[in-house]
Amino acid sequence: MKIANIISAIGNNNSVYPLIVRDCGIEVPTKIALTYEQNKKESKGIAYLAARERFLDEYAVSAVWLGGIPLVGWLCDKYIKAKGLNPKVNLKLFKEENGIQGIDYNIEKFKTTAPDAVKDLIKAKNNKKLYEKLLASKFVASTTIPILFMGFILPKLIFASSAKKIENLRKKEAAQKSNKISFLQRERFYKSGDISFKGNWIAKAANFSAQDKMAVTDGGYALGRVGTARNKNEAYDISFKMAGMMFLNFVAPKWIEKGLNKLTGVELDPVILADKDFIKQVKDGTILKRLPVSDRVDDLMKFIDDTSNKDTLFMKFANKFNKVKTFDNGVRDPRAYVDIKNLAKFRNDIETFAKKAEKLSDNTFKLFVKKSRIAKSANIITNVALSSFLLAFALPKAQFKFRKWITGSDLEPGLAPAEKIVDNKV
């Protein structure tokens, strides 16, 4: 994969790729290390247990986020298809937009150019209540099942797997105090197999029955975690963490992206800016002649519905970045909904870039393109780095300070012995 494609993928805040980079590659390993260091201040044994819980918790949640939710959606789609309906039909089409799009409008408009897709529209229209019920069930299943696992089942499994280890740890620490065992013995204890990252929670979990969805799921997951907290202080601690995680995962990256784009004046994706045909057409001015005439809805729809435009770069990239969906013959997929506002912005971003470049000399033009590509790539990398820093370092540090203020201890509230916790201050 080209560098531009990689940067483009991790810069798409509507996809899972930024989450994979931030979550699995940066945030989780850092959090595990910080958790260990924070708890080690008061108890090395508790530190091992806290790091173990964080390891199991974070990576299990990531697996559900990145694999479980899409899997449930795929299974639901298979069920919907078994009922003779196609889940590609967008429910927004049931609200007719006069002269633009809608289920009746699209049936009539595409009955000869996309007959198979129109059959799907007709089936959805004739079975509207069933189709709506099936899609609603898909949403519920795609969010409820992960919420139950991540918010309720997983913490109970982890807590259960830690309970015996906590008990053994406290007994041995008590024995250490009473028998005054040597420093060397103490080190051997902490490095022994009593505290490890192994457990039978995976085997237990295997016996359980089986980008907006993630935010909803995260909200339910947060409520579940607070509800399953082992004590009041742990509930406060988790509430602080989950509120911060939701903001930094789903809101902050989009704000950062918007701010950086405004600062540099570059909106187009690195993949577009690295495309040789695009640069050539910008240079010779043909790109401006191969765009919709304006960002008005009728001009946009006229352009994307004209199959003679199927080979234009505008349509190529509009398809690639999911602004529109067309078949190989250039006919628009009538089952898909067109977000006019999003498409208009895309058209205007191309026009703005081309107009900035049209009067530049050859050398200046090359420099302009290079700087734009570097600026946009830097925006994406900065966004990922900044949001990762906030998630992986700033949020845990803030959480630790909040925990210290609430409990009077650096230890994980769910693992700390009662004598280490003061009355909470809220």
The reported pLDDT for the residue numbered 50 is: 77
Residue entry with tokens 């050398």: 363
| Euclidean distance between CA atoms 372 and 364, whole angstroms | 12
- In DSSP notation, 321-389 reads TTS--B-TTS-B-TTSPP-HHHHHHHHHHHHHHHHHHTT--HHHHHHHHHHHHHHHHHHHHHHHHHHHH
Residue-by-residue pLDDT tens, the chain, 426 positions: 466 655 555 556 555 566 666 666 676 777 777 777 877 777 777 777 777 877 877 777 777 777 777 788 889 899 999 999 999 998 888 889 988 999 999 999 999 999 999 999 999 999 988 988 888 888 778 778 887 877 777 777 777 777 766 666 666 655 555 554 444 444 444 344 443 334 333 323 223 333 556 666 666 766 777 777 788 888 888 888 888 888 887 788 889 989 998 998 889 999 999 999 999 999 999 999 999 999 999 999 999 999 999 999 999 999 999 899 999 999 999 999 999 999 999 999 999 999 999 888 888 999 999 999 999 989 888 988 898 888 888 988 898 899 888 888 888 887 766 555 555 554
Within 8 A by CB and 6+ apart from 194, the residues are 165, 168, 169, 172
Report the alpha-carbon distance of residue 386 to residue 6 in Å, rounded: 18
Q: Pull the structure tokens for residue 38.
A: 């924070």
Write out the DSSP string of 116-177. HHHHHHHHHHHTHHHHHHHHHHHHHHHHHHHHIIIIIIHHHHHHHHHHHHHHHHHHHHHHHH
pLDDT at 94 (0 to 100):
87
Give pLDDT, residue 14.
Answer: 57
**Residue 244 contacts residue 396 (beta carbons within 8 Å):** no
C-alpha to C-alpha distance for 76 and 72, rounded to whole angstroms: 6
At 317 the pLDDT is 95
Q: Is-contact 109 87, C-beta < 8 A?
A: no
H/E stretch holding 278: helix 276-284
Two structure tokens written together for 28: 């989780």
Residue count (the chain): 426
Instruction: List, in sequence order, every residue forming a beta bridge with 97; answer none if it has no partner.
Output: 101
Selection from 100, 112, 118 nearest residue 298 by Cα: 100
H or E, element range at 111: none
Which amino acid is it at 57?
D
Q: What is the pLDDT of residues 378-425, one digit of tens each?
A: 988 898 889 888 888 898 889 889 988 888 888 888 776 655 555 555
Cβ neighbours of 187 (radius 10 Å): 11
